[in-house]
Amino acid sequence: MAIILICSCTSENKKEKQDAGNPFLSEYNTSYNVPPFDKIKTEHYLPAIREAIKKQKKEIDDIIGNKEEPDFKNTVEAFSLSGYLLNEVLGVFNNIRESNTNDTLQKLAKEIAPMVSLHQDKIIMNAGLFKKIKTVYDKRESLKLGAEQNRLLEETYDKFIRGGAGLNDKQKKRMSNINQELSVLSLKFGDHILAENNFFKLVIDKKEDLAGLPKALIDGATDAAKEAKMENKWVFTLHAPSIFPFLQYSEKRELREKILKAYLNRCNNNDANDNKEIIKKILNLKTEKAKMLGYKNYSELVLAKNMAKNPEAVYNLLKQVWEPALKMGKKEAAELQAMITKEGGKFKLEPWDWRYYAEKLRKEKYDLDEEQLRPYFELENVKTGLFTVANKLYGIKLIPKNDIPKYHKDAVSYEVQDKDGSYLGVLYMDFYPRASKRGGAWMSNYREQQVRNGKDVRPVVTVVCNFSKPTAEQPALLTYEEVSTMFHEFGHALHGLLSKCTYIDLSGSSVTRDFVELPSQIMENWVEEPEALKIMAKHYKTGEVIPDALVDKIKKSRKYGQGFATTEFIAAALLDMDYHTITEPLSMSIPDFETKTLKAIGLIPEIPVRYRSTYFNHIFGGGYSSGYYSYTWAEVLDADAFDAFKKNGIFDQKTALSFRTYILEKGNTEDPMILYKRFRGSEPDIKPLLKRRGLL
């Protein structure tokens, strides 16, 4: 016994030393209490997550073991407050894995994901805990709860029901196994895309093959070649700042074809990074899960919680947009083919020709070349302009802070203050592509806003992008689309930073998928407004404000190309819906299923779907399964909502305060349509969206 006692004490002493050296397991001693990124090491995550799981288990046991009659405070609120440490650790781990990953982190994620999934399932499927939650839920009418408390109770009860709390023991075990397997499959899916993006390189060694390319793009390709240790060559990649300008400007048709085919065939090459079988497994597991919970398909399970409510509503919306968009897309294709023929081309328009000839036609129609705009959209000027727009709308200030720990040297950090100087949160912004960062752009939280122990815990928010890098000769100059993306993601950030909720489950962007894009998409509208453009668009060399003539060209051309843009997007949304409305295990091959869907809707071959299945990360690696439509649903909301700003003035304080009060501050504390109608006075109309896109 003595030996055992000594060993036990030694083990405990060793654990205490390990815990003492783990930044997650002690109070942060950093500015604004942000995670101490400079001290967090890979080996800290697993012990911290294990300790956090252990701690939350104790918190749950305390709720179940409480001898008092279950009520809102000792059961529902206590459950919401549990797991704080786990949220903190996962908030850091998941964000770092997305923005600054490595092989070790990717391997670790495949160990952590099923562990966390199992832990969460054990909580949601705990019969004793659910019994207490249900007891409170069943007497909710007599509790006289406030709106936010009532919303939390309803959402909590629904989380348990949808999580499998009502299943029998055998079904619970199967459900937990499904969730664990899905957690790993989605990670593999995303890892494969990252590997494919980093693997392909279009290497050019003849100067004549650079014909048509802007100097800035060539400079970027020179830098990429140096990074790859290739002398006297130029390297183009599948990252957005490289491939899309190449497709727009390269005069070498065979090279445009080569790079676009590589892009479209990502994870579809029957190699180690192939995603086809992963997709099939994901779909079949989700279908099984939905049926276990009493739904016909996975889409019904998802949409029951969204504003759309059911697949029929989504298909109806998409059809209303699809038909005029396809008509416009066919018209645009005919115009591009006519240009090819006029120039003496003997070939049929192909997907790798579209952006090239569309850019030429835009220049011909509107005397507007995207490269004319870039000098006016220097990243720092755009960022300053964005912050000014936010200040004019909501009175907030963003103050650069160099003393805040950062997770990567490229990230920049800001303290966000309200108009009265009070502290709102911390914002990180991270702009440039790197091999350790996944593609695209997103907003996320390292910490979400909530009230804890009577204290308002303010959020730590991050905005991550993949924009054009600065070169040796010039600063980062953005495309018009990149400017819109910055405004979009900042809109998400505002949703997190301005949150004024009590419970973490309801705060910030914790809203339905088809409502979460409203705060982001409405911000894009200011990019098109001359009054806002004049604030941020200044020539990087001369400081000259963008001239009225150029602003007028932007305004006149803003509906140009909407046939292509809308069609490629809606095709992806319909593909997502078709995948998630299957009612039986999928036996058809993924390419055949994709082809069947795109043929059925009549997508013309000149326009590729925005996301082919094997790299459709939104729905197979992220949280947008049966939810990609939400960008269009939210665009109906944002087009209708922005009409209020247009009517009253784009910086009208009364309208901005109303939007902040009823949308940005409220999170998921009430039904989103109720919140929207409080702001707007009525339900949204689809006509402003169709009018904006020139599809009426």
pLDDT in tens, 326-379: 999 999 999 999 999 999 999 999 999 999 999 999 999 999 988 899 999 999
Asked whether the beta carbons of 24 and 40 are under 8 A apart, the reply is: yes
pLDDT value at position 19? 67
pLDDT category, 11, cuts 50, 70, 90?
A: very low
Q: Is the pLDDT of residue 20 over 90?
A: no
H-run or E-run covering 125: none
Tokens of 288: 């099984």
Identify the bridge partners of residue 235 per DSSP, sorted by sequence position. 203
Tokens of 355: 């952006």
* Residue 199 neighbours by CB distance under 10 Å: 13
Buried b / exposed e over 286-298, threshold 16 CB at 10 Å, is bbebbebbebebb
Asked whether the beta carbons of 612 and 264 are under 8 A apart, the reply is: yes
pLDDT value at position 6? 34
The bridge status of strand 234-236 relative to strand 202-204 is antiparallel
* Residue 210 neighbours by CB distance under 10 Å: 21
Q: What mean pLDDT comes out for the span 167-190?
A: 98
pLDDT value at position 414? 98
Q: How far apart are CA 696 and CA 218, in angstroms?
A: 40
Please state the length of the chain: 696
Q: Return the CATH number of the domain spanning residue range 375-558.
A: 1.10.1370.40
Domain ranges in the chain with CATH number 1.10.1370.40: 375-558
Domain ranges in the chain with CATH number 1.20.1050.40: 44-166
pLDDT value at position 18? 55
Q: How far apart are CA 430 and CA 124, in angstroms?
A: 35
Q: Is the pLDDT of residue 411 over 70?
A: yes
Q: At residue 443, what are phi and psi to the nearest 5 degrees?
A: -115, 145
Q: How far apart are CA 641 and CA 24, in angstroms?
A: 42
96 Cβ contact partners less than 8 Å away, ≥ 6 residues apart: 105, 407
pLDDT value at position 694? 87
Q: How far apart are CA 373 and CA 366, in angstroms?
A: 13
pLDDT value at position 15? 54
Pick the CATH number of 44-166 from 1.20.1050.40, 3.30.1330.20, 3.40.640.10, 3.30.450.20: 1.20.1050.40
Identify the bridge partners of residue 202 per DSSP, sorted by sequence position. 236
- Dihedral class, residue 417 (left if φ above 0, else alpha if ψ from -120 to 50, else beta): beta
Tokens of 497: 């930073």
Q: Is the pLDDT of residue 658 over 60?
A: yes
Asked whether the beta carbons of 241 and 190 are under 8 A apart, the reply is: no
Q: How far apart are CA 623 and CA 627, in angstroms?
A: 8
Q: Cα dihedral sign for 265, 270, 274, 277?
A: positive
Tokens of 501: 């909720």
Q: Cα dihedral sign for 634, 639, 644, 645?
A: positive
pLDDT value at position 7? 36
Instruction: Strand 460-464: give its sheet, edge to edge.
Output: 397-400, 412-417, 423-430, 460-464, 442-447
Q: Is the pLDDT of residue 1 over 60?
A: no
pLDDT value at position 472? 87
SS (H, E, C) 23-41: HHHCCCCCHHHCCCCCCCC
Residue among 378, 482, 489, 635 flagged as catalytic: 489
pLDDT value at position 3? 30
Q: Is the pLDDT of residue 28 over 70?
A: yes
This prediction has a pTM of 0.94
Q: Is the pLDDT of residue 234 over 90?
A: yes
Biggest distance spanned by C-alpha atoms of the chain: 94
Q: What mean pLDDT comes out for the span 424-439?
A: 96
Asked whether the beta carbons of 575 and 597 are under 8 A apart, the reply is: yes
pLDDT in tens, 603-637: 999 999 999 999 999 999 999 999 999 999 999 99
Q: What mean pLDDT comes out for the span 32-52?
A: 97
Active site residue 670: no
pLDDT value at position 692? 87
pLDDT value at position 10? 44
Q: Is the pLDDT of residue 146 over 70?
A: yes
pLDDT category, 547, cuts 50, 70, 90?
A: very high
Amino acid at 76: V
